[in-house]
């Protein structure tokens, strides 16, 4: 009897502990830690550049079409993230947007990128995990780790060092996006959203702290935590879990679209909203993969990105992290036919467009897309 009572007491203490371990432990602990810290460092660096542009504009200084800040940010962010991946996972490949050829040919730009990296390596306490880049040659080498062609076999990362170039240059929405892909399937995604408010209500209304670090691991859900904390991100079970809503009432549905008309067909997207009965003003326009973040946390229901031509193909780094953020938040993502996005075909998605939505409305959205595309 005493043994039974003791066993019952021990079991009652152990079960909550075991449940905690099961809820917080997953097969990608180190990968998530490295990805979050690398994206965090890259986000802090690029945020400083974006803020500088905004301050310069507010002072009345004219900035014509100077893309040097985004060029510096792209190179620096890719070098930082690639170096962290190769330090911790030397056998992993990386599909990155940049290469170092033009940077090597510009001594002034190379120096600027290297000095910026050094500054932000010294400003945080994550170098034991992320390592440090100590010469311009190391920067070049790290950037060029992003030359993988991807594919259906093995393990590789997909990186967009600054997603949303025009948003970045406006001091508006952009993102640092990183995803891990195994045998063609996205298993982990991290998005740094330096300028995204905690709550987006409309194009003109928002609230809450600026900046979020969004993460998703296959089978473990989607989460958000503070991007600019001096400390490392907490374990997933200590972060805020986010989920999509199940709204179906057309008058309550909110649609996310890009800002730039050159990236998707806004006219066809307007037709889709009419078919679904969604008011045209129930639209939030945002640059970059932050649209996926807004959907994943239930502040919008549909993301429409209809192709501007029959031949255009999306790059995998523009959607991989956002894809898993949505699916782990309970939503669905596919092309204009509703077919799930396939990340096993190389550096490009061999499909047309991207449609994401909460699971309750997704099929109806695809039906409306098909009506418009006939």
Question: Which of residues 6 and 129 earns the better pLDDT score?
Answer: 129
Quick one: 153 and 205 in the same domain? Answer: yes
Q: Is 363 annotated as a binding residue?
A: no
Quick one: 185 and 89 in the same domain? Answer: yes
The CA radius of gyration of the chain, in Å to the nearest whole number, is: 21
Write down the pLDDT at residue 329: 98
Q: Is 231 annotated as a binding residue?
A: no
Determine, yes or no, domain membership for 14.
no
Write down the pLDDT at residue 16: 44
Question: What are φ and ψ of residue 51, in 5° steps?
Answer: -65, -35
Write down the pLDDT at residue 14: 46
Element (H, E) at 270: helix 266-276
CATH number reported for the structural domain that contains residue 204 in this entry: 3.30.540.10
Write down the pLDDT at residue 54: 76
Question: Which of residues 66 and 252 earns the better pLDDT score?
Answer: 252
The yes-or-no answer on residue 165 being catalytic is yes
Query: What's the rounded Cα separation, in Å, for the pair 374 and 357?
Result: 21
Write down the pLDDT at residue 61: 44
Write down the pLDDT at residue 29: 97
Domain tally, the chain: 2
User: Model confidence at 25, in pLDDT bands (50, 70, 90)?
Assistant: confident
Q: Is 92 annotated as a binding residue?
A: no
User: Model confidence at 34, in pLDDT bands (50, 70, 90)?
Assistant: very high
Write down the pLDDT at residue 24: 56
Tens digits of per-residue pLDDT, 55-64?
A: 776 654 444 4
Tens digits of per-residue pLDDT, 62-104?
A: 444 455 778 999 999 999 999 999 999 999 999 999 999 999 9
Structural domain range at position 298 = 255-373
pLDDT at position 216 over 80: yes
Element (H, E) at 152: none
Quick one: 223 and 308 in the same domain? Answer: no
Write down the pLDDT at residue 307: 85
Determine, yes or no, domain membership for 1.
no
Determine, yes or no, domain membership for 10.
no
What ranges make up the beta strands (E) of the chain? 93-96, 155-163, 175-182, 185-200, 206-217, 221-226, 240-242, 255-257, 283-285, 302-305, 331-334, 354-358
Residues 295 and 256: beta-carbon distance below 8 Å: yes
Determine, yes or no, domain membership for 236.
yes
User: Model confidence at 19, in pLDDT bands (50, 70, 90)?
Assistant: very low
pLDDT at position 261 over 80: no
How many other C-beta atoms can be found within 10 angstroms of the C-beta atom of residue 347? 17
Determine, yes or no, domain membership for 5.
no
* Mean pLDDT, range 174-180, rounded to an integer: 98
Write down the pLDDT at residue 106: 94
Quick one: 98 and 186 in the same domain? Answer: yes
Question: Which of residues 235 and 264 earns the better pLDDT score?
Answer: 235
The yes-or-no answer on residue 51 being catalytic is no
Q: Is 160 annotated as a binding residue?
A: yes
Residues 168 and 50: beta-carbon distance below 8 Å: yes
Catalytic pick among 56, 99, 124, 165: 165
**60 in the Ramachandran plot: left (φ > 0), alpha (ψ -120 to 50) or beta?**
left
Query: What's the rounded Cα separation, in Å, for the pair 226 and 138?
Result: 30
Quick one: 34 and 60 in the same domain? Answer: yes
Write down the pLDDT at residue 11: 40
* Mean pLDDT, range 283-295, rounded to an integer: 97
* Mean pLDDT, range 267-281, rounded to an integer: 96
Q: Is 97 annotated as a binding residue?
A: yes
Catalytic pick among 71, 74, 144, 283: 74
Domain boundary among 242, 266, 299: 242
Quick one: 59 and 125 in the same domain? Answer: yes
User: Model confidence at 117, in pLDDT bands (50, 70, 90)?
Assistant: very high
Upper half-sphere CA count for residue 307 (Cβ side, 13 Å): 18
Write down the pLDDT at residue 263: 63
């Amino acid at each position: 009897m005493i043994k039974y009572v003791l066993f019952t007491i021990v079991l009652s203490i152990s079960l909550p502990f075991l449940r905690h371990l099961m809820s917080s432990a997953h097969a990608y602990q180190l990968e998530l830690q490295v990805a979050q810290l690398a994206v965090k460092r890259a986000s802090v660096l690029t945020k400083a550049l974006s803020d500088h542009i905004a301050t310069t504009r507010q002072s009345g200084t004219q900035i014509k079409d100077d893309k040097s800040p985004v060029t510096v940010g792209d190179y620096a962010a890719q070098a930082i993230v690639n170096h962290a991946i190769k330090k911790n996972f030397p056998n992993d490949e990386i599909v990155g947007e940049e290469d170092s050829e033009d940077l090597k040919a510009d001594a002034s730009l190379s120096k600027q990128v290297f000095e910026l990296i050094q500054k932000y390596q010294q400003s945080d306490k994550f170098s034991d995990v992320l390592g440090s880049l100590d010469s311009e040659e190391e920067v070049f080498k790290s950037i060029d780790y992003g030359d993988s062609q991807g594919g259906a076999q093995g393990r590789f990362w997909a990186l967009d060092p600054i997603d949303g170039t025009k948003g970045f240059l406006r001091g508006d929405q952009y993102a640092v996006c990183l995803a891990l892909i195994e045998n063609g399937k996205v298993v982990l995604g991290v998005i740094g959203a330096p300028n995204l408010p905690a709550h987006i209500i409309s194009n003109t209304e928002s609230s809450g702290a600026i900046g979020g670090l969004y993460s998703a691991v296959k089978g473990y859900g989607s989460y958000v935590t503070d991007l600019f904390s001096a400390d490392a991100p907490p374990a997933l079970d200590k972060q805020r879990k986010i989920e999509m809503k199940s709204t179906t009432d057309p008058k309550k549905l909110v649609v996310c679209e890009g800002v730039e008309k050159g990236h998707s067909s806004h006219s066809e997207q307007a037709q889709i909203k009419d078919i679904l009965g969604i008011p045209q003003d129930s639209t939030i326009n945002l640059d970059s993969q932050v649209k996926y973040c807004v959907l994943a946390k239930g502040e919008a229901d549909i993301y429409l990105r209809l192709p501007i031509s029959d031949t255009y193909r999306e790059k995998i780094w523009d959607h991989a992290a956002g894809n898993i953020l949505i699916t782990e938040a309970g939503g669905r993502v596919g092309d204009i036919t509703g077919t799930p996005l396939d990340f096993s075909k190389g550096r490009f998605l061999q499909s047309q467009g991207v449609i994401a939505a909460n699971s309750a409305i997704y099929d109806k959205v695809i039906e409306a897309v098909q009506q418009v595309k006939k």
